[in-house]
Amino acid sequence: MLIRRLLIAASLGRWLRRATLPALGLAGLLGAGPAFGQADSLRSPAQRLARYARRTPTEKLFLHLDRPCYVSGETLWFKIYAVEGTDHRPLPASQVAYVEVLDGAQQPVLQAAIGLRHATGHGALVLPAALASGRYTVRAYTSWMRNFDPGLYFQTSIAVVNTNVPAGAPPARPAVAYDPQFFPEGGYLVRGLSSRVGFKITDGTGRGVAAEGTVQDAAGAVVARFQTRRFGLGSFAFTPARAGAAYTAVITANGQTLTCPLPPAREQGYVLRLEEASPAQLRVVVQASGAALADEDLFLLGHTGQHIGVAAGARLRDGQASFVVDKQRLADGVSHFTLFDGHRQPVCERLYFRPPAAPLALTARADQPQYGPRQKVTLQLAAGPAGAPLPASLSVAVEQLDSLSAAGGPDVASYLWLTADLRGPVERPDYYLAAGPEAAAAADDLMLTQGWSRFRWPAVLADGPDSLAYLPELRGQLVRGRVVSRATGAPAAGVAAYLSAPSRRIQLYNSISKADGSVQFEAGDLHGPQQLVAQAGTRRDSLYQVEIFSPFSQQYAAPRPGPPGLPEALAPALLRRHVQAEVQRQFFRGPPAAYRLPRLDSLAFYGKPDEHYRLDDYTRFKVLEEVMREYVPGVLVRIRKDGFHFLVANDDGRGVLDDPLVLLDGLPIFNTNRIMAFDPLKIQQLDVITKRYVLGPQVFNGIVSYTTYKGDLAGFPLDAHALLQEYEGLQGEREFYAPRYETPQQRQSRLPDFRNLLYWNPEISPGAGPAPTFYTSDQVGRYRVVVQGVAANGQAGSAGFTFEVKPAL
């Protein structure tokens, strides 16, 4: 157990060291603002945030899906990119990612645990043929990410169409419902202080709508006017005249008029305003109202992904203070400016977006602009500027372009730099990464309306240690559970618990329950569906039992609005997809789509045994006691009042070891009488460890390990209090298969090829190996190539182009 903790601490330490920005020392940051008498007060929030960042580094996941729309029964292919939360360098910390497909009620319909190597992983999920048509959410997260808000999980929406079920009459078009929301800059309005108010107006599908309106007081007088800019977003200046007064927004959108109350104003407090001071600087202006706030010392922290870029102090003069921020001190992406009062409590917060200065330059093209059916396509891919290639991990998807897939999927750069740090979906996130004043103004509106922090300030400022329930899975899966009393169901502390997956590969995991009864088994080598057996205690009649928890998160982000039913205009595309799916199902003769599990070391967890016996090499007895006494001199059999006991002759010549650990196919047997009653003709071999053996937090007086012929316990009855549970281990590898038409006979085959996904490759390293190649199908039309990837230096980017397949002449 100590060794395991040291390994985890060492790995986590490397992660933590990478998660800091050494170029921004805290002492240097403190010099960014004006000097004043309370340097300790200024230093405290900055130091606490730096300490919190070191203890709770952030990681992000991005999934590149092969396409945005599927037919029931098709396979969803994906690649996972794991990166550090701020500079987005590949982060090889977590070794497992969890991927789920959720329905509209946020219930999982598919789940998989995916192994990560070198900060990437890939897998596939077969959508059930009976899956209903609708919008589904694909989400992904790691064990470490479960400690934080589920809104931080990767999430994207896909469409699934079940073409085997009649669509029926088109649904009645529901009345258009609009959702207006208003967000005062900094957090709230204060009487008599001018504020900038951001707003967002969306329809029932979550898409922004064009609108305009006015703000009216209780008497109906117009006190402000506003109009949306991009994606239903906008902002306006507003000064509330009275605290708690009722102000109403009257909005006109698409000919409809609706009203919405504005947030009430406070009698006193702070108003924060962020503005451009120059092309290289920002200005943060603070106004305060209230006698108790006069001449107060304020503190401003600016951080990107919990990495501090600005720490400055200023004193209120005549109810106003300002800070000048050098943009170069801020990292690319979403930065948070948090204002602290004189008591070092956060009172205002504002987000600012700085587009990445150097996204990954990807070059992608085909060797021809158009092709015929069953013709070879060669892709030419490069990462980095011309003449200076960068090592990068890429993934490529090639799908037929139609009205169902026209929207495309999420983009890795806009997700990592923008969407991952904002609450809820962002419409057209790639737009905000573009250069120009219009994109900058739209990004500022977005920061006003979808601001969100990855942490809660009370947790950062608290003096106690962080309470994190989930460790990063640095060496594979951690199976979690709890030990409880069989009599009362209360959690039990200090109880030994054992986990095994009976097979011919002898593996055993153990743990000691904590004060809350929780146990954790470091079972890094579980693959595919498993039947786990969990037991508690070493007594013949244990007073405890073990519960095993699902490895998948039970926490969900707020549901996202879904689009209305499929319009009639998509009928031709749906018919085409249905024909393609049916033809492929009836005529496609590729290899079976099975998941291949990796080859694992067949050596038992205890290594090479001191003694090994193949029972078929000896005369077979029908009673195990006779076998042990006649052929196994290393194990002594003794009979006491409570029955049989084993003793192992210690190989150091210092007597014997009493009551060694007894295993059957890796399953601990605590009552020797039960194994002695087992039919020895079902046992193929026996291993003996003749010295003390340390396993996790426990020391055993040797090991006596029996193995059946099939490793399936051969009918051995489990203890009545043992838990037998199905568990999903790491998903096996599945190869994307597509036919190749390399010979005239293959090209002239009459077997129809109606594939709409021509190519999927999740493991491409540009410049290494031959260029990727694939063959077109019999389906003519336009095809879209999407390339996404992350470089070793943290640059992320995507590229795409289309080519055409025309009928053969």
DSSP string, 264-301: PEESSEEEEEEEEEETTEEEEEEEEESGGGTT-EEEEE
What pLDDT is attached to residue 565? 58
Residue 211 carries which side chain, given as an amino acid letter?
A
With respect to residue 647, please indicate whether it lies within any of the assigned structural domains.
Answer: yes
Q: How many angstroms separate the Cα of 532 from the Cα of each of 5, 217, 540, 741?
A: 24, 65, 20, 45
CA atoms lying within 13 Å on the CB side of residue 651:
13
Looking at the domain assignment, is residue 764 inside a domain? Answer: no
Least confident range of 42-46, 101-105, 195-199, 591-595: 591-595
Does residue 655 sit within a domain? yes
Please report the pLDDT score of residue 18 as a whole number: 43
Its pTM stands at 0.90
Q: What is the mean pLDDT of residues 720-746?
A: 90
Per-residue pLDDT tens for 740-799? 999 999 999 888 889 899 999 999 998 887 899 999 999 999 999 999 999 999 999 999
CA dihedral over 434, 436, 442, 448, signed as positive or negative: positive
Q: In what order do the strands lie in the sheet with 496-500?
A: 508-512, 496-500, 529-536, 723-728
Q: Is the pLDDT of residue 168 over 70?
A: no
Percent over 90 (pLDDT), the chain: 64
Higher-confidence position of 381 and 567: 381
Query: pLDDT tier at 506 (50, 70, 90 boundaries)?
Result: very high
In a domain, residue 703? The reply is: yes
Residues 6+ apart with CB under 8 A from 206: 424, 425, 427, 560, 561
Domain boundary among 314, 339, 354: 354
Give pLDDT, residue 29. 37
Residue 391 lies in a domain: no
Strands 661-664 and 667-668: antiparallel
User: CA–CA distance from 192 to each of 182, 245, 271, 293 (Å)?
Assistant: 19, 12, 10, 15
> In this structure, is residue 656 part of a structural domain?
yes
Total tally of structural domains belonging to the chain: 2
Average pLDDT over residues 93-122: 95
Residue 589 is predicted with a pLDDT of: 57
**Per-residue model confidence as pLDDT tens digits over 449-486:** 988 777 888 888 887 666 788 999 999 899 999 999 98
pLDDT tens for 647-699 read 998 876 667 899 999 999 999 999 999 999 999 999 999 999 999 999 989 99
Give the single-character DSSP code of 246.
Answer: -
Domain endpoint, select from 709, 728, 747: 728
Report pLDDT digits (tens) over 386-440.
778 899 999 999 999 887 777 788 999 999 999 999 988 899 999 999 888 999 9
* Lowest model confidence (mean pLDDT) among 170-179, 476-485, 622-631: 170-179
Does 582 map to a domain? no
What is the arithmetic mean of pLDDT over 794-805? 94
Q: Comparing 19-33, 219-233, 364-378, which segment has the lowest mean pLDDT?
A: 19-33
Mean pLDDT of 488-499: 94
Residue bearing the bigger pLDDT, 196 or 651: 196
* Sole residue written with tokens 């949306």: 228
For residues 76-103, average pLDDT? 95
Report the pLDDT value the prediction gives residue 35, as an integer from 0 to 100.
37
- On the 0-12 / 13-18 / 19+ scale of CB atoms within 10 A, 37 is exposed
Which pLDDT score, from 0 to 100, does residue 292 have?
62
Q: Which domain, by its residues, includes 713? A: 611-728
In degrees rounded to 5, what are phi and psi of residue 329? -80, -15
Which pLDDT band holds residue 808 (cuts at 50, 70, 90)? confident
| Structure confidence by residue, pLDDT tens digits, 249-275 | 999 999 899 999 999 999 999 999 999
| Distance, CA of 149 to CA of 157 (rounded, Å) | 19
pLDDT tens figures, 4-35: 443 444 445 555 444 433 333 333 333 334 43
**Average pLDDT estimate for 582-609:** 75
**Is residue 389 within 8 Å of residue 381, measured between CB atoms?**
no
Q: For residue 283, give the CATH number of its domain.
A: 2.60.40.1930
Which of the four pLDDT bands, split at 50, 70 and 90, describes residue 563? low
Residue that finishes a domain, picked among 699, 728, 757: 728
Start-to-end Cα distance in the chain: 70
Q: Ranked by mean pLDDT, which of 57-71, 517-531, 558-572 comes out on top? A: 57-71
Identify whether 120 is part of a domain. Answer: no
User: Domain holding 675: CATH number?
Assistant: 2.170.130
Contacts of 571 (CB under 8 A, 6+ apart): none
pLDDT band for 75, please (50, 70, 90 cuts). Answer: very high
pLDDT at residue 451, as a whole number: 82
User: Which pLDDT belongs to residue 467?
Assistant: 76
**Predicted pLDDT at 601:** 73
Q: Name residue, tokens 């006494």.
A: 629
Q: With bands split at pLDDT 50, 70 and 90, how would you rate the model's confidence at 561? A: low
pLDDT value at residue 205: 81
The contacts of residue 93 (CB under 8 Å, 6+ apart) are: 11, 12, 15, 59, 82, 144, 472, 474
Residue with tokens 């204060």: 190
Q: Average pLDDT, whole number, for the chain?
A: 87
Band (193; pLDDT cuts 50, 70, 90): very high
Q: Residue 652 has what pLDDT?
A: 67
Q: What is the pLDDT of residue 662?
A: 96
